[in-house]
Chains A and B, each alone.
Chain A
Amino acid sequence: MTHATGYNFAYLDEQTKRMIRRAILKAVAIPGYQVPFGSREMPLPYGWGTGGIQVTAAVIGADDTLKVIDQGADDTTNAVSIRRFFARTAGIATTERTEAATIIQTRHRIPETPLAEGQILVYQVPIPEPLRWLEPRETETRKMHALADYGVMHVKLYEDIARFGRIATTYDYPVLVNGRYLMRPSPIPKFDNPKMHMSPALQLFGAGREKRIYAVPPYTAVKSLDFDDHPFEVQAWDQACALCGATDSFLDEVVTDDKGGRMYVCSDTDYCGRRREAQEAAQ
């Protein structure tokens, strides 16, 4: 596809990209720390991935291959829209194959296929501040981060256990990065949290509306908060994927009729499709 005329490569002007790259470099240097940046108004709505788009626009080059997923799927409406945006403004190659992508922009999932060195995973972040629902004021939460004063989050998790017998946070599960900063992994299911730990890929997080960028550099410790007697655990399903039979992937529940019929399928469409292809080839 050719570039959209009248706009710079990947939409943003080079000065803006430089400003964003500086924020990214700072974010990489201080893993998990939220770096304020001069987020621009994008031609896509806030809350629909403007942070991720700006980060991707700042790091993408002409020879990059981009994959965009939403809920793990390449063909959900917003993923299609963002992939088209870059195909149109940057003329870059796109792919649905996780291992063929150099940059993967994601909303709410980490691909099931393990990432490799050299890949960049760009997360779209709605609310970057892990303490926000416990303390609404930015002036306060910045102080709490400066002092590594995270007791309030432990109390919240403890209260869950006291009330429900277990930690009742299922997505956007708080993590401690490199033993220092408390970080919101964006609303990925906690099922995906272990994939962040010591990942060989660079993980960048962009929050456009809230004007923050943060990062987890490759091979960085990412620990999901827990207690000795209530260790962190991920979701498990009794079913396997109805399409590919996977038992190790995150499953979406699909309502098939109004009589309680359900089927469970992989949320990662690339992973599911590739498994089915392999099964068909084997037959």
Chain B
Amino acid sequence: MYVAVKGGETAIDNAHRLMAEERRGAPATPELSLDQIAGQLGLAVDRVMTEGSVYDRELAALALKQAQGDVVEAVFLLRAYRTTLPRFGASEPLDTAAMAIRRRISSAFKDLPGGQVLGPTYDYTHRLLDFALAEGGDPAPAALAPEPLDAAMPRVADVLGQQGLIEDNPAGDESPGDLTRQPLNFPAGRDLRLQNLARGDEGFLLALAYSSQRGYGNTHPFAGEIRMGNVAVELVPEELGFAIEIGEIAVTECQMINQFKGSKTRPPQFTRGYGLAFGRSERKAMAMALVDRSLRAGELGEDATSPVQDEEFVLAHSDSVEASGFVQHLKLPHYVDFQSELELIRRLRAGKEAAE
């Protein structure tokens, strides 16, 4: 009876074996391969790579398989792997203007140099369950454009910047910090803020961004540009002294353009909010850009009255690995604390009864 409240080593082992069996599902059904996950559940893989901060489709697919499709658990698995990797250098800043575009849209201009490129998107699909998909089968091949995309696809914010209508990119720190190596202190600075948001939980950022649109800190945003495609990653090895390309990654970038009526020190102009995520992660990049702009309230002399404008509130609670762990730690035994509280409640009640 007393033993029943304690968990033994055997019980833990057995629980893990049971979980492995459940994960496998019905033995008669073929097992998922990592290629299938990476190829056919690509957006889940993109999200796990983004929030796990590791660009590796195969590892992200493995994490998803191991986590039975639980994205937050998969992010945790990838993060715990990432933490042991050696750091051998930092890349040069990505040049997203030179991106090999797969999708590029602007809601601020009807047309612009390079044009609007829809690319693969769920936008404008009718969300009707496609029962034909349940049967499987190959889709009709995608149509090929009659001519290749323009070589030049200037970023919309750069086009506006030429006329001084939008602020210059806020000056960046020469050597950005890394919150996975150094503890986050407040005020954090934009480099660490963007790193935090890039790793932050999509659901949390989405809700915060949404709150900013509903009056809890208005950012008056326009989706200046969203672009998705491959960019080159360059590194300057110390022994060479010049940049070499070490590979390509797919990213989604969102530049929000926000109204700004000016302050004592700044003329009226548009301001920026920035979002960047691995792969095709448009919702995440847009939410991140809205939250980034909201968090610049202090810098731009706006009243910070809402949660989304509060740096400590947002950055301290955005990480799904931290949040998931701490919320779920309530499953751990708390007999001792609970016993202490029980004893107090009994004493308080006894005191009250005696007084009455």
Contact = CB atoms under 8 A, between A and B. Distances in A.
Contacts of B344: 168, 170
B127 interface: no
**Chain A interface size range:** 35 or more
B335 A78 contact: no
Contact of B342 (A38, A126, A253, A265): A253
B284 to A, nearest CB: 20
Nearest to B330: A47
Interface of A: 7, 11, 13, 36-43, 45-48, 50, 70-73, 75-78, 80-81, 84, 107-109, 126, 136-139, 164-166, 168, 170-172, 187-191, 209, 211-212, 235, 237, 243, 250-254, 256, 263, 265, 267
Interface of chain B, main secondary structure:
helix
Contact of A250 (B8, B325, B336): B336
A243 to B, nearest CB: 7
A41 B336 contact: no
A106 to B, nearest CB: 11
Nearest to A243: B2
Given A37-B183, A164-B348, A171 B340 contact: yes
Given A47-B326, A80-B8, A254-B2, A38 B183 contact: yes
Interface of chain A, main secondary structure:
loop
A235 B325 contact: no
B335 A71 contact: yes
Interface residues of B, number: 49
B337 A189 contact: yes
Given A47-B326, A47-B328, A209-B322, A75 B8 contact: yes
Given A72-B336, A189-B339, A189-B340, A41 B79 contact: yes
B264 interface: no
B76 to A, nearest CB: 7
Interface in B76-103: 76, 79-80, 82-84, 86
B110 interface: no
B329 A126 contact: yes
Given A47-B325, A139-B312, A252 B339 contact: yes
A41 B180 contact: yes
Question: 5 closest pairs, A vs B, by CB?
Answer: A46-B325, A47-B329, A45-B325, A77-B7, A170-B340
B12 interface: yes
B163 interface: no
A211 B11 CA distance: 32
Contact of A36 (B8, B183, B351): B183
Interface in B319-336: 321-322, 324-329, 332-336
Contact of B351 (A165, A188, A265): A165
10 contacts: A47-B329, A70-B333, A71-B334, A77-B7, A80-B12, A81-B12, A84-B9, A137-B312, A138-B186, A250-B339
A105 B302 CA distance: 47
A36 B341 contact: no
B80 to A, nearest CB: 4
Contacts of B11: 77
Given A138-B316, A166-B348, A252-B336, 11 more contacts: A38-B180, A47-B328, A48-B332, A75-B8, A76-B6, A77-B7, A170-B343, A189-B339, A190-B340, A211-B183, A254-B1
A138 B183 CA distance: 13
A257 to B, nearest CB: 9
B5 interface: yes
Given A42-B80, A139-B186, A254-B5, A189 B336 contact: yes
A80 B7 contact: yes
A74 B335 CA distance: 14
B206 interface: no
Residue from the set B84, B341, B343 with the largest chain A CB neighbour count within 10 Å: B84
B185 A36 contact: yes
A27 B115 CA distance: 59
B234 to A, nearest CB: 26
A48 B339 contact: no
Given A13-B84, A170-B343, A256-B1, A75 B312 contact: no
B326 A235 contact: no
B149 to A, nearest CB: 39
B235 interface: no
A76 B333 contact: yes
Contact of A78 (B181, B185, B312, B332): B332
A73 B333 CA distance: 10
Contacts of A171: 336-337, 340-341
A78 B9 CA distance: 10
A137 B324 CA distance: 21
A68 B327 CA distance: 22
A225 B285 CA distance: 48
Interface string B286-303: 000000000000000000
Contact of A45 (B8, B86, B183, B324): B324
Nearest to A212: B183
A21 B292 CA distance: 35
